[in-house]
C-alpha cells in the first residue's frame, strides 16, 4: 500500500467500526467470521490489514472455544498493518485475551515486507485485497503464494461485483462510493475493484470453500494450491443474508 497514506488510516481508526456499522450494521463482521469453522488447526498464521482487529479477536476466540488441541498447536499469529493507530486498536482489543501471547503485531507496508518461504499454514486477508491497484495486487499475491505452506489455506473475505443484472449496477454504485471515500481519506491508489479471484487462480490457488451473500457482492473463500486438495473443502453456498 505504498501509494496510500497511513495518516488517513490513522484518522479513521477510532471511527472505523462506527462508520462500517452505519452502512452495514454487523453484516461485514458476520462475513469476516463466515468460514472460521472451516479452518483446521494451524501452527503459523499471517493476518494482513485486519484494521481494528475484530477478525483477529474472533479467530482467537475460535481457537479458545475449540480447546487446547487447537490453541496449543498455534505457535505464532503475525498481524501486519499499515496504520499504527489500527494496530493500537488491535492491541487494545486483545489485551485481556488468554491467547494474546501468541500474537505478534507488526507495523509495516506489506508490499515492502520480507516474507519467509512456505511458512504460513494460514493467511488471512479480509476486506484488504480490494485496496490495491492491479499491478500491486499481482505483486502481493505472487509474494504471498511463496510464503504459503504447500498445504496451507488463504482466507479471503472481500467485495465483488456481479457480472450481470440489477445486482451489477447496485453493487457497482456502492463500490464506487466506497472507493471514493477511501481515496479521499487515505489516498487509495485504485479507482475500481480489482477482482482478486482471477489473480489468485493464476498463481495456482483454487477456492476450496466459497460462500456468497444473496446480492452477490460479498464473498468469503478459502483458497489452497490446486494440486493440494484440503480436508476442509466445503460446498459453494449462497446465503440469504
Which tens digits make up the pLDDT trace of 71-81? 899 999 999 99
| Beta strands, E only, the chain | 44-48, 76-81, 103-107, 120-126, 148-159, 205-212, 218-225, 237-238
Confidence (pLDDT) at 21: 80
Strands 205-212 and 218-225: antiparallel
203 — pLDDT class (breaks 50, 70, 90): very high
Cell numbers that stand for 152 in this block: 496451507
Q: Quick check: 152 pLDDT over 70?
A: yes
- Nearest residue to 126 via CA among 58, 44, 199: 58
Residues ≥6 apart with Cβ < 8 Å to 217: 159, 160, 161, 162, 167, 170, 171, 174, 175
DSSP structure class, residue 215:
T
Residue 16 main-chain phi, psi, to 5 deg: -60, -50
Which tens digits make up the pLDDT trace of 88-125? 999 999 999 999 999 999 999 999 998 999 999 999 99
| Neighbouring-strand partners of residue 225 | 205
CB 90 within 8 A of CB 79: yes
Amino acid at each position: 500500500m505504498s501509494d496510500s497514506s497511513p495518516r488517513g488510516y490513522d484518522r479513521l481508526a477510532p471511527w472505523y467500526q462506527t462508520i462500517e456499522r452505519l452502512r452495514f450494521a454487523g453484516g461485514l463482521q458476520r462475513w469476516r467470521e463466515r468460514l472460521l469453522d472451516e479452518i483446521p488447526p494451524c501452527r503459523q498464521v499471517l493476518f494482513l490489514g485486519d484494521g481494528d482487529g475484530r477478525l483477529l479477536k474472533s479467530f482467537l476466540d475460535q481457537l479458545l472455544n475449540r480447546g487446547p488441541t487447537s490453541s496449543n498447536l498455534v505457535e505464532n499469529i503475525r498481524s501486519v498493518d499499515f496504520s499504527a493507530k489500527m494496530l493500537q486498536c488491535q492491541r487494545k482489543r486483545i489485551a485481556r485475551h488468554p491467547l494474546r501471547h501468541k500474537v505478534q503485531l507488526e507495523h509495516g507496508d506489506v508490499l515492502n515486507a520480507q516474507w519467509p518461504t512456505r511458512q504460513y499454514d494460514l493467511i488471512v486477508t479480509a476486506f484488504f485485497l480490494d485496496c490495491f491497484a492491479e499491478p500491486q495486487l499481482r505483486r502481493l499475491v505472487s509474494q504471498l503464494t511463496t510464503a504459503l505452506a504447500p498445504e496451507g489455506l488463504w482466507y479471503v473475505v472481500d467485495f465483488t461485483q456481479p457480472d450481470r443484472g440489477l445486482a451489477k449496477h447496485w453493487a457497482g454504485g456502492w463500490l464506487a462510493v466506497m472507493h471514493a471515500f477511501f481515496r479521499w481519506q487515505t489516498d487509495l491508489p485504485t479507482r475500481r475493484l480489482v477482482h482478486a479471484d482471477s489473480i489468485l487462480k493464476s498463481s495456482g490457488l483454487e477456492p476450496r470453500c466459497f460462500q456468497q451473500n444473496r446480492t452477490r457482492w460479498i464473498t468469503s473463500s478459502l483458497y489452497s494450491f490446486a494440486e493440494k486438495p484440503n480436508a476442509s473443502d466445503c460446498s459453494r453456498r449462497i446465503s440469504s443474508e
